[in-house]
């Protein structure tokens, strides 16, 4: 594959922390995000303005958003489920708002307590208000490659909700393998269909590494023309409302492959590793990424 530019969107402070049982101290979150801001990343999803009872690990969303350094050139995004979340996100001066839903009913119901049909107008209103406030909006579709409650998810369902998100004015849709069940052939087959409906430049891939397939899935996605990937430092992460969901694709593992293949990301691997080493002791366990495991045995 010809070397080219790949955009890494760091979701560790949001997807990484939301599933952890430890509450990371607000000042530690801020210091960690500041380190990530200086690693060359251009996009960081820093927290989420969901109901704090649903995600206690991110109950300090406003303090984090207001406490971090805003490095020029870095977009600071947050997850927002509804108008109440948007109000909080705007008060905290978030740059980009990420709205989210699932391609399967079972996971949507478990995650946001509503059917897909009930969710769409709520997201539409949230997107409209965010755009009116001068913010850009990103959309997530979960369970694209499989649902913990329903199993296989028809690609038609993915197309339907992705189209609905674009109609709301989102600038990019991130396709989530929420429980890390995808394999490269499936990624190929799903993307082959989706790319007949959407441009590769409007889609991001969001892999979880539950079964060790994430890097292989990225490679297939790159071969299919995709160039935006979500990942989490050290492989932290998961969705507490998706049984079996574990860590995201690790940013450090992704970077190891991309750097080695001559792909340009702008991210400094040493600075990223320093950020992983900073957060590791706060999690009370060693971080699951291959790169972090390798560096602990070096
Ligand atoms: P609900 O209980 O149905 O909410 O939760 P509601 O609208 O009925 O409101 C109930 C009360 O909550 C009201 O307060 C609201 O004001 C309040 P009351 O009037 O009773 O005093 N409320 C809020 N408070 C603060 N912030 C808010 C908010 N919204 C309502 N934003 C809700 C619905 C969507 C809020 C809830 O289900 C929720 O917060 N879910 C979030 C779950 C979540 O964060 N999951 C993980 C993220 S998704 C993910 O990880 C997947 C992804 O990574 C991609 C992938 O891997 O596939 C993105
Ligand atoms: Mg996720």
pLDDT at 129: 98
Kindly tell me if the per-residue pLDDT of 226 is higher than 90.
yes
Pocket of ligand 1 (CB under 6 A): 15, 18, 48-51, 54-55, 79, 81-82, 84-85, 88, 100, 111-113, 140, 142, 176, 178, 206, 208, 239, 241
Kindly tell me if the per-residue pLDDT of 37 is higher than 90.
yes
Q: Using the mean position of ligand 1's atoms as its centre, give its distance from the Cα of residue 81 in Å.
A: 6
Please give the number of the atom of ligand 1 that sits closest to the Cα of 102. Answer: 57
Q: Give the confidence band of 297 by pLDDT, cuts at 50, 70, 90.
A: low
pLDDT at 298: 63
pLDDT at 92: 98
Are residues 47 and 80 in contact, defined by beta-carbon separation less than 8 angstroms? Answer: no
Question: pLDDT per residue over 113-133, tens digit each?
Answer: 999 999 999 999 999 999 999
Kindly tell me if the per-residue pLDDT of 152 is higher than 90.
yes
Kindly tell me if the per-residue pLDDT of 296 is higher than 80.
no
Place of tokens 């801020």: 30
Q: Is 7 a catalytic residue?
A: no
pLDDT at 238: 73
Q: Using the mean position of ligand 2's atoms as its centre, give its distance from the Cα of residue 87 in Å.
A: 23
pTM check: above 0.80: yes
Q: Give the confidence band of 200 by pLDDT, cuts at 50, 70, 90.
A: very high
Residue nearest to atom 49 of ligand 1 (CA): 239
Q: Using the mean position of ligand 2's atoms as its centre, give its distance from the Cα of residue 19 in Å.
A: 10
CB proximity list for 136: less than 8 A, separation 6 or greater: 95, 96, 97, 130, 171
């Amino acid at each position: 594959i010809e070397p080219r530019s790949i955009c890494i969107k760091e979701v560790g402070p949001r997807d990484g922390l939301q599933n952890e049982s430890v509450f990371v101290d607000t000042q530690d979150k801020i210091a960690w995000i500041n380190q990530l801001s200086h690693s060359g990343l251009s996009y960081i999803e820093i927290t989420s303005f969901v109901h704090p009872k649903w995600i206690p690990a991110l109950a300090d969303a406003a303090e984090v958003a207001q406490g971090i350094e805003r490095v020029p050139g870095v977009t600071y995004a947050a997850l927002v489920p509804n108008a109440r979340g948007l109000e909080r996100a705007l008060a905290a001066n978030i740059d980009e708002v990420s709205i989210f839903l699932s391609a399967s009913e079972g996971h949507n119901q478990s995650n946001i307590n509503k059917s897909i049909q009930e969710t769409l107008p709520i997201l539409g209103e949230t997107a409209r208000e965010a755009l009116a406030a001068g913010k850009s909006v990103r959309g997530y579709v979960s369970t694209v490659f499989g649902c913990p409650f329903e199993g296989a998810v028809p690609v038609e369902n993915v197309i339907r909700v992705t189209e609905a998100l674009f109609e709301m004015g989102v600038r990019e849709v991130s396709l989530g393998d929420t429980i890390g069940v995808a394999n490269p052939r499936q990624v190929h087959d799903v993307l082959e269909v989706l790319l007949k409906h959407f441009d590769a430049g409007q889609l991001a891939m969001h892999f979880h590494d539950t079964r060790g397939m994430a890097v292989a899935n990225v490679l297939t996605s790159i071969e299919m023309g995709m160039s935006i990937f979500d990942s989490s430092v050290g492989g932290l992460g998961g969705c507490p409302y998706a049984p079996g969901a574990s860590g995201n694709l690790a940013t450090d593992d992704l970077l190891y492959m991309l750097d080695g293949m001559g792909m340009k990301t702008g991210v400094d691997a040493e600075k990223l590793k320093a950020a992983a080493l900073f957060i590791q002791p706060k999690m009370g366990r060693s971080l699951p990424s291959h790169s972090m495991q390798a560096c602990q045995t070096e």
